[in-house]
Structure 1
Amino acid sequence: MAENCPHVQVKFFTKQPTYSVPDSPFSVPANVGITELSSLINGLLNEEDSEGGVDFDFLIDGEFLRVTLDVYLEQKGVSTEDVLDIEYVERQAAPKPENSLLHDDWVSCLQANTCYILSGCYDNTARLWSSSGDSLMTIPGHTAPVKCVAWMKEDDDTSSFVTGSHDQTLLVWVWQRERNEVDCVCTCRGHAGSVDCVAVNQTQDKFCTGSWDKMLKLWSAGLDRDTDVSDDDGTESASKRKKTAETKVHSRVPMLTLSGHSEGVSAIVWLNSQEVCTASWDHTIRIWDLQEAKQSATLQGSKVFFDVSYSPLSQTLVAASADRHVRLYDPRSKDGAVVKSSFTSHNGWVIGVAWSPTNQYEFISGSHDSIMKLWDTRSPKAPLYNMEGHEDKILAVDWSLPELMMSGGADNHLKIFKYDSKSESMDVS
């Protein structure tokens, strides 16, 4: 580096004790970037007998440094005389392609739980997979494409889940894992359009749905058939009733219906035990109080919203939109400035978003540009990584398990990426 390059005084700190260095100020050339700063930290650590180099990322005022220090100082209007406090963290390794699960048609929805993956397909079926990618079962039942799926309860030998379809119904299923048999407990009837989204509450006793009919509905997630009405309306002959008695599927009606959206409801998520958030083709995100049975807030956008995800860790929402942006919202904000950040990198409609279940800063997004991206809210100008592999548009993403990022696409594939999230991210400030 040129001798006449101006220098900057910096102080380093970290929340990862393994990598702590003395907090005394250092004088560094102003034209250094993250590579040189990483080398400097490694040099300081090597004095303490640390083996090998570690890649670090650097944050100033809570935002990742992505330019050289002199450019950063100029952008922020900071004097080179000031001492810069720089936080450093071990850089996240790139997610690794792990598996690609082939379906017979478009993969429209997916969700993982502890050991299994549930997917919905345009061939009218739902599918069960092991998290390692083994096909366990293909489940017919719907008469049109399956548009949404969600796990419900899990115990020692059974799991239950719900599937929603373009056929305007939802089916509640119980899966006997040991015998690998599924049983349809009931059909949920009440929507007058495609059922495009479903979300199960934290206690797993209710679920909410949104539909192309603009309605939001609340249902019981109970597995007891006694609460349901029979599909038998009394018009069938006695012999036909007898023949179908054993295979009869009971109907379930909603506990609550709420209207307010002026176009189809595209996504739904629980914020807490009594509030849900919906996203819609009417360019709004709405928050509903189910206990009071009313809408409590509206966030206005400029284009169609396709998906929304809520992080209990940061208590913020990310929303995917047709204008190619992902936006970060604080639903608690009372000052009107609800958009806290925008993330722009996709070249097509952003169709899905999902927060990390263990990291308050990270989320993924999937788009019609066929790419899934990993974002950190501390780096709004650029994603951390692009995950490529789909040969057609992405239709859904899921990050229910910390170590698995997944996307479903119009190339009939469900892509799985393995991810090793750093423990530093668990620190919720």
Structure 2
Amino acid sequence: MSTDAMDLDSASISAPRVQINLSTRDPTLSVPLQSLRVPTNLKRYGLSTLVNHLLETAKPIPFDFLIDGQYLRTSIDEYLTQAGLSSEKPLDVEYVRSQLPPTYIGSFEQDDWISSIHLSPSPSSSILTGSFNGTAQITSLSGDVLVRTVPMHTHSVKTVTWISPPSPTNEATFLTAGIDRTINLWSYTPSADPSSTVQASPTTSYISHKSTITSLSYSPSTSQFLSASSDHTIALWSTNSSLLPTSTAPTSTSFSRKRRRTTSKLPTTERKGPLTVLTPHTAPVSQVIHSPDPTAAYSVSWDKSIITHDLVTSQVVDTRVTQHALLSIATLPSLNLIAAGSAARHITLHDPRASSKTVQSAVLRGHTNAVVTFARSPESDYVFASGGHDGCVRIWDVRSVSSSTSADEDGGKSGGSLFVIKRESGGGKVFGVDWSKDVGLVSVGEDKKIQVNRGEGMADVSVLEQS
């Protein structure tokens, strides 16, 4: 199909032409592979019009375009000039749905720094957060505090995760853990009145770790969860208490006794020990997550390693040693990739399969301080967000990596972020981020605020420059 069939202005008709080979990785938007000769003065909008014409879409879909792993932000002619390429050579052009710049929607303030966040799935879309004041709470999208925990933790909560999200018919449950070395399971019955605040009750305390618990990961398919700790260990637990041994380990610590003198008596809970404890790391474990296969898990540590665990045998499947201390991890399952955030301010992409011959696939740069949290896009397998101690959330597209940009230490590919989200409050470290289609991109941190950003009005927004 020729672009002559389209309505082109006189400048485009008279402009030099270049052959492009259009392709996409989205099978729902593919067109038969073909070469087209297009005016070199076309920019993103003109190319987007072309693709919509080829797809015969009823309603225009905004597209972005990648050439050699870089988003096209100029005309094709300007790109050719900057890259030192001739218009006589065909260009391979990949088209992707435009990623909308997330605009600021609003924020809700809490009493103390917010350490962690986990969004419940639809239809409730409740926001579970953990706080440095030792409590957790659940907030609605309108900012109402739906649930608070009683003072059970004797120090800061560092991590939270849903077990059974709220529903009209079932009791809701979630986990909290932190500096006091204890994991607590909470339950509550959602109230029909959104203006009233329910108090969650602790039912079980899980005790094993000898230092701060840094991360939790729950697998619904196995009813098991993992915890990572600064004591260098990872523990595996079950939400079925009958499968766990009774624990008699003490929970008090030197820093908690002072706080206990100023609070009421702690609630009584069932105390349980782990199914097993994994000890392959030689330094504090920053985060542990289940792999897409719930019988396996990945962990990252200050010992600079990424370890793949077999949870059935408690054995190490694979170890990747990087160049920097690692603080966070996320899976990109459809791409067979994991992203690891480092204390050295960058993100590395890795193929965790044992057959992979490379330690890392690419490096993503942009953060100016430690990268401590990740969230996958709910709409694209290739897009994810990261949060850092630089006070920013950045959005990345793993297709936007190129060997032509500044290379990483191993001479591989590197890339930059699509968008940067700053704190509306003006500053403070970002500690947690989560992303859902219904709520948007939600981040929390040192400014005590839950900040919501969401992309709206896709067709009416101009795509920002790469940062």
The yes-or-no answer on 1:416 pairing with 2:441 is no
Distance change in 2, residues 1:420/1:290 (3 Å): farther
Counterpart of 2:273? 253
Counterpart of 2:409? none
Contact 2:133–2:156 (8 Å) recurs in 1: yes
Counterpart of 1:239? none
Give, in whole Å, the separation in 2 of the partners of 1:4 and 1:343: 40
The yes-or-no answer on 1:382 pairing with 2:395 is no
Further displaced range: 382-391 or 369-378: 382-391
Counterpart of 1:346? 367
Counterpart of 2:8? none
Give, in whole Å, the separation in 1 of the partners of 2:87 and 2:204: 68
Contact 1:403–1:421 (8 Å) recurs in 2: no
Further displaced range: 209-218 or 374-383: 374-383
* 1:253 to partner: Cα distance: 0.2
Contact 1:92–1:420 (8 Å) recurs in 2: no
Candidates 333, 336, 356, aligned match of 1:315: 336
Distance change in 2, residues 1:230/1:293 (3 Å): closer
| Two-structure CA RMSD over aligned residues (Å) | 3.5
* 1:98 to partner: Cα distance: 2.3
* 1:408 to partner: Cα distance: 1.1
Give, in whole Å, the separation in 2 of the partners of 1:343 and 1:62: 12
SS in 2 for 1:313: helix
Give, in whole Å, the separation in 2 of the partners of 1:232 and 1:167: 13
Contact 1:118–1:128 (8 Å) recurs in 2: yes
SS in 1 for 2:335: coil
Distance change in 2, residues 1:185/1:35 (3 Å): same
Counterpart of 2:162? 151
Distance change in 2, residues 1:136/1:335 (3 Å): closer
Distance change in 2, residues 1:18/1:401 (3 Å): closer
Counterpart of 2:324? 303
Give, in whole Å, the separation in 2 of the partners of 1:189 and 1:398: 27
Counterpart of 2:185? 172
The yes-or-no answer on 1:105 pairing with 2:118 is no
SS in 2 for 1:339: coil
Structure 2: state its 5+ residue gaps. Answer: 1-10, 193-197, 251-265, 402-414, 459-467
Counterpart of 1:187? 205
Distance change in 2, residues 1:58/1:262 (3 Å): same
Q: Deviations over 1:96-136 (max 9, x none)?
A: 22231211111111101122111011111111112443211
The yes-or-no answer on 1:94 pairing with 2:93 is no
Counterpart of 1:203? 221
Instruction: Kindly report which structure 2 residues correspond to 1:53-72, keeping only aligned pairs within 5 A, or say none.
Output: 55-60=62-67, 64-66=71-73, 68-70=75-77
Give, in whole Å, the separation in 2 of the partners of 1:104 and 1:340: 41
Counterpart of 1:97, as a letter, is: Y
Give, in whole Å, the separation in 2 of the partners of 1:358 and 1:306: 25
Counterpart of 1:107, as a letter, is: I
Contact 2:209–2:229 (8 Å) recurs in 1: yes
Q: Could you tell me the percent identity over the aligned residues?
A: 30
Contact 2:174–2:186 (8 Å) recurs in 1: yes
Counterpart of 1:121? 131
Counterpart of 2:246? 229
Counterpart of 1:372? 393
* 1:62 to partner: Cα distance: 6.6
Contact 1:228–1:250 (8 Å) recurs in 2: no
Give, in whole Å, the separation in 2 of the partners of 1:24 and 1:274: 43
Distance change in 2, residues 1:16/1:248 (3 Å): closer
Structure 2 length normalisation: TM-score? 0.77
Distance change in 2, residues 1:296/1:204 (3 Å): closer
Counterpart of 2:182, as a letter, is: T
Structure 1: state its 5+ residue gaps. Answer: 234-245, 423-429
Distance change in 2, residues 1:321/1:14 (3 Å): closer
Q: Deviations over 1:234-259 (max 9, x none)?
A: xxxxxxxxxxxx95311110110011
* 1:273 to partner: Cα distance: 1.9
Q: Deviations over 1:187-238 (max 9, x none)?
A: 111100001101001325110000010001001112x5796638699xxxxx
SS in 2 for 1:104: coil
Give, in whole Å, the separation in 2 of the partners of 1:421 and 1:332: 39
Further displaced range: 159-168 or 88-97: 88-97
* 1:374 to partner: Cα distance: 1.2
Give, in whole Å, the separation in 1 of the partners of 2:312 and 2:63: 47
Give, in whole Å, the separation in 2 of the partners of 1:363 and 1:83: 31
Contact 1:111–1:400 (8 Å) recurs in 2: no
